[in-house]
Amino acid sequence: MGIDKKSVNAWCIHFDHYDPEDEGRRESLLALGNGLLVSRAAAPESKDDPIHYPGTYLVGCYNELTTHIQGKDVRNESMVNLPNWLPLSFKVNGGDWFSLEKVTIQTYSQTLDLQQSLLTRQVLFTDGQGQETLLNERRFVSMADPHLMGLALEVTAKNWTGTLEVASGLDGRVFNNKVKRYSPYNRHHLQVSHAGVWGEDGMELLSSTSQSKTTIALAARTQVRKGELQADLTREEKLEPDQVFTYYQVPLEEGECVAIEKIAALYSSLNYPPEECRPKACKSLQLASGFEKLLEAHTKAWEHLWRKCQFETEDQQQLRFFRLHIFQILQNFSPHTVGIDAGVAPSGWQGEEYNGQVFWDELFVFPFLTFHFPESARSLLRYRYRRLGAARQMAQQDGYAGAMFPWRSASDGHEETPSFQLNLLSGRWMEDHTCLQRHIGAIIAYNVWYYVQVTGDEEFLAECGAELFLEIARFWASIAQLNPATGRYEIHGVAGPDEYHTLHPQTQKPGLSNNTYTNVMAVWVLSQAEPLLGQLPPNRQQELQDKLKLTPEEFELWDTISRKMRIVFNPDGTLCQFEGFDQLREFDIEEFRVKHGKERLDWALEAMGDSVQRYRVAKQADTPLLLYLFSPAEVISLLDQLGYHMDEDLLLRTLERHLSFTSHESTLSRVVYAGAYAHFDLATSWDFFWEAQQVDWSPEDKGTAEGIHLGPMGGTLAVLQHHYLGWKVRAEELEANPSLPDSLAWVNFSVCFRNSDLLCKAVNSDGHSLFLGRQA
């Protein structure tokens, strides 16, 4: 689709037609949130069906259920689809309740205003009786008061006179039903204990999660007006055990308009004592002003957020991509999220993909937050610190020291990776060993180091950051084994970021040997541990060493391992993904896709009686992640520290080799390659960068219906900051060495560095000049 880049409104995401096949993606992409609540952009008249999926989620709210699978009782912890606050529909003169599938649409418009976080919809339609009606809809999830949500409809009788019947309700008949491959699991998380009405226009629904016992109090008020006056109407309530609806009948003349306003409040025991949730929800609605004033306060709150992350560039389409990515991060991790026990869900909090569990996606979101909302970044680190005890226990159970963090976590520090995954192509269950991705600990350590470098937050470092880092270093020293034959340390029984290879090529037992990315990251952590400890005051250093029982001999061992780790190379001197990878069978990705389509390779091969583990193919970037996180000079230095010679030419050849067998079946893969190639080939880097931005944006991306891809969104901003603008902290100073791709003529980007608000200006001409000054 051709786009006039100058005519694009960089603040708006707009759709000019209704597409049932694309509705699921739009519901995720246009979802609204405030860091406490996120609500999908499902039409208020819709229900859970093959086209629509209303979903509202509370950040950090999980529930665990057990299902009998493959002869085992499998527990599964998931984010919870909360009672639906949206139900609001109407019908004309006793006809059908409004549904886009039942009317003839004359004009359709749906717009997300990123600046105001306001979703609007306008539909002009004709029903089966030839009655023409105009619907205008607006909604928001308040950033000013994180417990409130607002929905406003205006219904205009274009060519008819008669009665408009309005139905407004709260529906507790919901369960987690969006992801097809989770259908064998138990997904009914809620128990509704009360549904009722209060006052002249209020309704309420009280529920709780079945296992975690989180109380959810949802209340709403609905007001119907003609002009400035309360409409002349009749009202009737209908109560059922798990839902409540109020029905209104309003007389209308041709040309008249009815305004319907619904304000909802949601409180939970994650933030308040259970007995206070219901009274607080009702009281907040009694005190809340009308839709317009609430919207004004909400818009003002977003104005303050945007002021902290001002961004401008010439290409308006590119500007819209950046703003969309910032917007999605902020509505999932706003200042309201600070203090909530929550990590980064890969699909945000607007979709049930991966059950809302926490992987490593914070790696990609973290750089933006640290440079613009450091309190939110710190909150994510505290999520990890709260699970340090569980990580120590996991390490001990597996015979290691220190802290071994789970690949997937949720409400606590237990490993949430399922033992089996359902293959939708074959209908069979496949063993899942991706829990062996121990590199998650290195990422947590990297984020601690990164946060402290950018913010200079010595208090955090002293309170928990250093302890977190040191216990992860201790784990790496524990899992590394000395090979007496070579005099080098090796790491066995792990899996790399690739995820398609989790079985040892020779033994076919779970776990690989000497994954290059894992080994180098372990070396980096061990190398940084003592310098990081040295940033603390002497008395705190001693306190921490006493607490952890750290000895000089242990530090000496860490130093030895950091200089004697084994790295595996290919015969041509490039880095090999893991020991034995080069001995696997070759695999032609393009030829396979021509013959068998674009299904997941692991699913497709298993359905054919084969296994992806046999082939030299990667799901996503693995070893190239090193060049996403570090400059070529830093990677060369780490390898030189180990006694291995590597130059930039070999690093580039390593990239090219790995790219040749990467299938990019993870949306993170192209972001990683964009960063990795930035130093070597800006044009290739930008190609990957542009493709990465199409995730969620393209109607071809059907996976977005299950939730957005927050990691790649954060990753594009991280690539911009570090690889294109060249931000780097050195000697407690922020340096910049910009190298903008040709497609970015210039960039202005605000930044917060050690409590100073700055404005970064980079120009793609005259040596890419850069200026840092006080933000206006």
User: How far apart are the C-alpha atoms of 704 and 205, rounded to whole Å?
Assistant: 30
Phi, psi of 303 (to 5 degrees): -60, -40
**Alpha carbon distance 528, 542 (integer Å):** 18
Please give the structure tokens belonging to residue 266: 């949601």
With 0-12 CB in 10 A as exposed, 13-18 as middle and 19+ as buried, what is 121? buried
Neighbours of 316 (CB within 10 A): 17
- 544, 537 Cβ separation under 8 angstroms: no
Tell me which residue has tokens 């990081």. 532
Residue 594 phi/psi, 5-degree rounding, is: -60, -40
Give the amino acid at 749: F
135, 252 Cβ separation under 8 angstroms: no
Residue where the block lists tokens 């992409």: 29
Q: Copy the structure tokens of residue 465.
A: 């950051």
Give residue 609's identity as a one-letter amino acid code: G
Contact 751, 371 (CB under 8 A): yes
Residue of 651, 645, 656, 658 whose CA lies nearest to 631 = 651
Residue 297 zone, left/alpha/beta (φ > 0; ψ -120 to 50; rest): alpha
User: Exposed (0-12), middle (13-18) or buried (19+): which is 414, by Cβ within 10 Å?
Assistant: middle
Residue 184 has a CB neighbour count (10 Å cut-off) of 14
Token couple for 129 = 């009786």
List CB contacts of 595: < 8 A, sequence separation 6 or more.
Answer: none
Q: Whole-angstrom Cα distance, residue 506 to residue 587?
A: 19
Reduce the DSSP state of residue 753 to 3 states and report it.
strand
Bridge-based pairing state of the strands 56-58 and 148-157: unpaired
- CA 501 remoteness from chain centre: 24
**Residue 349 DSSP symbol:** G
Q: Two tokens at 290?
A: 């009308």
Contact call for residues 132 and 159 (beta carbons, < 8 A): yes
3-state SS, residue 473: helix
d(CA 160, CA 125): 13
Q: Cα separation of 75 and 73, whole Å?
A: 7
CB 288 within 8 A of CB 252: no
DSSP conformation letters of 241-304: TTEEEEEEEEEE-TT-EEEEEEEEEEEETTTS-HHHHHHHHHHHHHH---HHHHHHHHHHHHHH
Residue 276 CA to residue 65 CA, distance in Å, equals 26
Cα 460 from Cα 475, distance rounded (Å): 22
Return the SS3 of 444: helix
513: Cβ contacts below 8 Å, ≥ 6 apart: 490, 491, 492, 493, 504, 578, 579, 580
Alpha carbon distance 573, 658 (integer Å): 13
The count of residues in the chain is 776
- Is 463 part of the annotated catalytic residue set? no
Closest-CA residue to 744 (of 773, 715, 716): 716
Q: Which of 23, 27, 490, 499 is catalytic?
A: 499
- 81 DSSP 8-state letter: P
Candidates 110, 102, 107, 98; CA nearest to 14 is: 110
What's 462's DSSP letter?
Answer: I
| Active-site residue list | 499
